[in-house]
Every structure is written in structure tokens, then in C-alpha cells.
Amino acid sequence: MTKTVYVVSDSVGETAELLVKAVASQFNGGVVEIQHFSYVQNIEDLELILTQAKNNDAIIAYTIVVPFLKQFLDEKAKEEGIFAVDLLNPLMQAFRAKFNSEPKSEPGLMRKLDENYFRRVEAIEFAVKYDDGQDVRGIRHADIVLIGVSRTSKTPLSMYLANKIFKVANVPLVPEIAPPEELFNIPKNKCVGLVITPNKLNEIRIERLKNLGLTAQANYANLGRILEELDYAEKIMKRIGCPVINVSNKAVEETADVILAMFKKRGV
């Protein structure tokens, strides 16, 4: 004979269903009829579920975290002789005792965490795909576009902001290469220019060349070349009309905070 289990939740109810199936596999060949009651938000919903459960001789397995709903379900099920099992309560009590704090009692928090996780992964993948101007199509789809000469922290800044769930593309500005037209066709406040003092950039590039086993005399670290690049980048930034941040003495986190503050101010 097939047994019926009502899975009741003030959220989706995925956790309850998985646990019910795991337990059911130990009985009756795992054959149970599961009926879902998701997003239960009021007493009226519970009254209807309890009536049906009693008429169908069903077990209620629930993951309800809203206190007044849980209390009503527990009390009413006991009165009516219905098996109602709170699947979260044992672990909730253990957390309460161990951490000496109270739960938020807010439904759907796990789904919100999962959604944020996947959005973060998507943003990181976006930053990798559209790093260093690899594909200019990303400019139109990015939340933030970083521009600047080489070694102005565009890549690490892109990854840091991606972890804050922003899709970031970055484009290097090089005098010999015309900037992509897409930069001039997006809202100017979506683009952020990164500048740095010539001497600081010279130091960074010399160190970079040493790490690569190359001579510090290469044109890449030549001060005249650096001045040419910075002048070119400044002209592009002025043409776009984007905000500009001097990263000379800023850690990546500091620069990111400045950018996030700008976007927060705009209500993004």
C-alpha cells in the first residue's frame, strides 16, 4: 500500500523532499506519494493541509521556520492525531545551543545564498572571458568597464568586483591600437578610467620585467613611453567622459570600494 507524505514548507520545500525520499528508500521499497505544499504563508493554508492530511492518513514532513506557523502546525497536528515532523528542529536546536544565538526565522534564505553563489560564479567567468580586451562584445553586457594602460590593476580589480557579483570587462589602452567603438556607445558612468603616476608605473613595470627575467631597459618600462601611454589614456578617458580614479597608492580593495561607492550613489 502506497503511503502519502505531505511536504510542507514556507519556502520551496526542496530540502524536505530530499530528506523524505532518503528516509522512504529505507521503507516499502521507497514507494511513497509526495504531495507538495510550498510557500505556505498563513494559518488558512495550514488548516486546509491538516484537513487533507487527516482524511488521507498522511504524514506531514515540514520545513517551516516562521514561529507562529510552526507553533500552529505542531499544536493542531497533535490535537488531530496527525504525524507532523519538523525536519529542521533537531539541527536548529543544536545550532541555537552551540552558537548561543537565535535563528533569523526567515524563509527562503538558503535559496538566496544559492542564487548569490551562482551569480558570483557567473560574474567571475564573465571577468575571465572579457579580461584585457579579449572580446569587445563584453563591453555592452558588463556592469562595469575598466580602462587604463597596462599595470593599473585592471585584472585583479575585475576579479575582486566579480566576487561582489558585478560583471566587469576591462580594456587596455595602447597608443598604437584604437580603442573599441563600444567604449563610446555605453553610458559614460558605466566606464571607469584608472590612472597612475608615471614614476609609480615605472617602478611596477620594472619589477614586472624582472619577474619575467627580462631587462629593465625594455621599452615597456621606459619613462618616455610611459608618459606617452598615460597621455593617450587621459585623452581617451576625457573623450568618453567617464569617472577617473588614481590607483597610484591604492590597494585593489581600496579602489574597488571607491567604485562600489560610486555605483551605490547612483542606485546601481
Residue positions in the annotated binding site? Answer: 148-155
Cell of 264: 551605490
Binding residue numbers for ADP: 148-155
d(CA 52, CA 25): 24
Count other C-beta atoms under 10 Å from residue 178's C-beta: 8
5: β partners: 34, 59
Count of helices and strands (H, E) across the chain: 10, 8
Cell of 243: 569617472
Phi, psi of 175 (to 5 degrees): -55, -35
d(CA 144, CA 242): 11
User: DSSP characters for 149-210?
Assistant: STTSSHHHHHHHHHTTT--EEEEE-BTTBPPPGGGGSS-GGGEEEEE--HHHHHHHHHHHHH
CA angle 192, 248, 242 (to 5 degrees): 15
Handedness of CA 121, 123, 125, 128 (dihedral sign): negative
Strand 144-148's sheet: what is its strand order?
A: 168-172, 144-148, 191-195, 244-246
User: What residues contact 256, with CB distance under 8 A and at least 6 apart?
Assistant: 157, 160, 161, 164
